Amino acid sequence: MRGEPIEAIKVGLETMVAALRQDPYALETVHLSMITFNRYPEQILPLTSLEQVQVPAIAQPAAGGTHLGEALEYVCKKVGEEVKKGDREQKGDWMPLLFILCDGRASDGQLFTQILPEVQRSHFGSIIVCLVGNKLQPENAKLLTDKIVHLDTTDGPTFRKFFAWVTVAVCEGNRSLGSTVGEPPLPPPPPEVNTVI
């Protein structure tokens, strides 16, 4: 992704954070981490409580390539380091929700395939892939999750609607994750956002 989509993501994230701040439960419990990836993954926001979050600048990718596999490996590593697991002496965090915004390509196909089992083992409450752009490759995303949405257009308003939906998903997940009864409910995506079957 380049240009307008990246700008739109930044605006979308800011809108999302501002909206989350209006939810008292989210304000006290939600933590955010942001990782960008192109040739290399980079954590531009370490896991930070919503109260302290300031959405960082997202740089235009300098290097080519979409190393989705490497990004996922990095995410799993960060989850291992930053998400607290519960034991007798420590209260566990809620299960993390993973949102991936990409065009679906994995330039490092082999690593991507290798890393899939580790992603499954990382106990994400939900993995939601948002495919952006018009040259989509949903095959990889389908290996990750069945919750795939597709944004046809990459304009600001559509992104805002998408992030509004993500916001609701975060608030909802935050309350009712946890039980091992089943997957936490995910609200239906807005009409502008197409679910990939």
Partner 1 sequence: MNDSWNELWSDIADKLRVEPERLAALSDADKETIVDDFLSSNKDEIIADIMNLWEEYLDKVAPAQSSDTEEPDVDPPAPDSIQLKPQPEAVPETVPVIKQQSPPDIPTLPMQTPITGELMLRDKQLILPNGKVSQPYLVDCDAIRLQTNISDIHFLDLEKVGLKYDRPTRRITGIPQAAGEFTVVMRYRKPNKQDYSSRKITLIINPDPRSLWNPIDTPRSIEYYKEDSDKLFVAVEAEAEAKKDMAAASRRGRSHAQEGRPRDDDFALHYEDGWYIMVVADGAGSARYSRKGSEIACRKIVENCREQLALSREEFERAITAVHEEASDAANKAAGDILYSILGAAAFKAVAAIKEEAQLKGAALKDYATTLLAAICRKFSFGWFVGSFWVGDGGMGIYCRETNYLKVLGEPDGGEFAGQTRFLTMPEIIEPKELYNRLRIHIVPDFTALILMTDGVTDPKFETDANLKRIEKWHALWDDLAGKNDDGARVDFTDNNRESAPQLLRWLDFWSRGNHDDRTIAILF
For the CB of residue 12, give the shortest distance to partner 1 in the complex, in Å: 16
Question: Closer to partner 1 at the Cβ: 10 or 142?
Answer: 10
Question: Closer to partner 1 at the Cβ: 125 or 189?
Answer: 125
Name the site residues for partner 1 (rule: CB under 8 A).
18, 21-25, 27-29, 51-54, 56-57, 85-95, 123, 175-182, 184-185
For the CB of residue 163, give the shortest distance to partner 1 in the complex, in Å: 16
**Local structure of residue 139 (DSSP, 8 states):** H
- For residue 20, the surrounding DSSP H or E stretch is helix 4-20
For the CB of residue 167, give the shortest distance to partner 1 in the complex, in Å: 14
Question: Closer to partner 1 at the Cβ: 20 or 149?
Answer: 20
DSSP output for 27-76: HHH-EEEEEEESSSEEEEEEEEEGGG--PPP-PPP-S----HHHHHHHHH
Give backbone dihedrals phi and psi of 37, rounded to 5 degrees, phi first: -150, 140
For the CB of residue 22, give the shortest distance to partner 1 in the complex, in Å: 7
**Three-point CA angle 183, 187, 191, nearest 5°:** 140
For the CB of residue 159, give the shortest distance to partner 1 in the complex, in Å: 19
Residues 123, 115, 36, 185, Cα dihedral to 10°:
-30
Question: Do the beta carbons of residue 15 and residue 158 sit within 8 Å?
Answer: no
Question: Closer to partner 1 at the Cβ: 54 or 110?
Answer: 54
Q: Copy the structure tokens of residue 1.
A: 């992704």
Sequence letter at residue 15: T
Question: Closer to partner 1 at the Cβ: 39 or 175?
Answer: 175
